[in-house]
Amino acid sequence: MGSVDFIPVNEPLLDGNEKKYLCECIDSGWISSEGPFVKKFETEMSGTVGRRYGIAVTNGTAALEVAVRALGITQGDEVIMPTFTIISCAMAVTKAGATPVLVDCDAYTWNMDVDEVEKKITPKTKAIMVVHIYGLPVQMEPILKLAEKYSLKVIEDAAQMHGQTYRSKPCGSFGDISAFSFYPNKHVTTGEGGMVVTDDAELAERCCLLRNLCFRKDKRYVHDEISGNYRFTNLQAAVGLAQLERLDWFIERKRTMGRYYTEALKDVRGLRLPVEKTDDADNIYWVYGVVLEQDIPISNREMVERLARLGIGCRTFFWCMHEQPVYVRDGYFHGEKYANAEYLARKGFYIPSGIALTQRQMETVVEKLKQAINEI
């Protein structure tokens, strides 16, 4: 939580039944992945998006890895995804031996440009990985149409989208398989945690195997495949269940916070604010992101440093996949350029947006942000 005056970029709210359920774990001795809260959390979480199966795993990154592996994506396959995302998406694909194929994003919604996807489809394309970014959903209809036309799988990264919908249908319910994260800055947190959700019984079974070392079903300690230990604990599930009880309120609160920031910042020069709504959804402001306009001659990094000196914790936007040193070194994405994503990566940052943020703190954030802009 830092010093008294510093306003952190994120602070979760844990004052519901979290403590009560955690004490039940301790009192009953159930703290491992075998505890009864895990199943309950899987059922309730998958229920929030109307999916039949939920498989809880150690974190959102693991959820993506398990999802990619469960679909049988492997050496020689290609998976189309946005360049503007977290590396967990690309890593899930490269760790499976497959190749990420990138598309740019929209300059205003920050989501993948669905019009670029079809051009990137080749005979090797196996799946499209959609990633809903920062509060608005990806345009799913064109993606699902392409998937149908070319017989592609759809993996939905809904890590930032608990409680969001696309045309009234929950994010996390689209495509073959979806992944959630429960990191503390997500709308539902378990400290660390993630979940794969799907309607496909076979995929769900694959996910369960992959989560737990790929033990052979008929012979424990005998293995046909390499995987990992991605098990989720009863302690995590206890916190998650308490968080889920308040999801609707969390989303309402996030929207109120987002609207406040927009109203307070709309006349500040040089700042591009998040899109409030599209035809498909109202923003849930997973984080409240802003983008410096061209006439503000500093980078997001420098702005974040300046705001830190004023006591405001901010964070820069994602760094593009095609500019990741590790992928450039390994020969991926040679010479590729994605102008919108590159701009966001250099000029975008988000301001304190955690659910525990108070009105007074938001007023201070606005005041200091205006001050920082005026000092340029």
Ligand X SMILES: *Cc1c(COP(=O)(O)O)cnc(C)c1O
- In the complex, the residues that contact ligand X under the rule CB under 6 A are 59-61, 86, 88, 131, 157, 159-160, 181, 183, 194
CB of 368 to ligand X, least distance (A): 26
Q: Phi and psi of 56, rounded to 5°?
A: -75, 140
Name which of 154 and 369 has its Cβ closer to ligand X. 154
For residue 150, what is the enclosing H or E element?
Answer: helix 140-150
CB of 129 to ligand X, least distance (A): 10
Query: C-alpha distances in angstroms, 25 versus 32, 34, 46, 297?
Result: 9, 11, 22, 53
Helix (H, G, I), strand (E, B) or coil at 331: coil
Name which of 86 and 197 has its Cβ closer to ligand X. 86
CB of 161 to ligand X, least distance (A): 8
Could you tell me how far CA 212 lies from the centroid of its own chain? 23
CB of 346 to ligand X, least distance (A): 20
Nearest residue to ligand X by CB is: 60
CB of 181 to ligand X, least distance (A): 3
Name which of 182 and 261 has its Cβ closer to ligand X. 182
Query: C-alpha distances in angstroms, 122 versus 33, 48, 141, 337, 360?
Result: 41, 35, 20, 19, 52
Name which of 59 and 125 has its Cβ closer to ligand X. 59
Q: Is 335 exposed, middle or buried (0-12, 13-18, 19+ CB in 10 A)?
A: exposed
Name which of 14 and 87 has its Cβ closer to ligand X. 87
Q: Are strands 177-181 and 153-157 parallel, antiparallel or unpaired?
A: parallel
Q: Residue 18 carries which side chain, given as an amino acid letter?
A: E
Residue from 317, 256, 310, 267 nearest 291 by CA:
317
Name which of 60 and 354 has its Cβ closer to ligand X. 60
CB of 84 to ligand X, least distance (A): 10
Token pair in block for residue 173: 């319910």
CB of 315 to ligand X, least distance (A): 12
Name which of 180 and 338 has its Cβ closer to ligand X. 180
Q: Phi and psi of 116, rounded to 5°?
A: -90, -10
d(CA 65, CA 18): 28
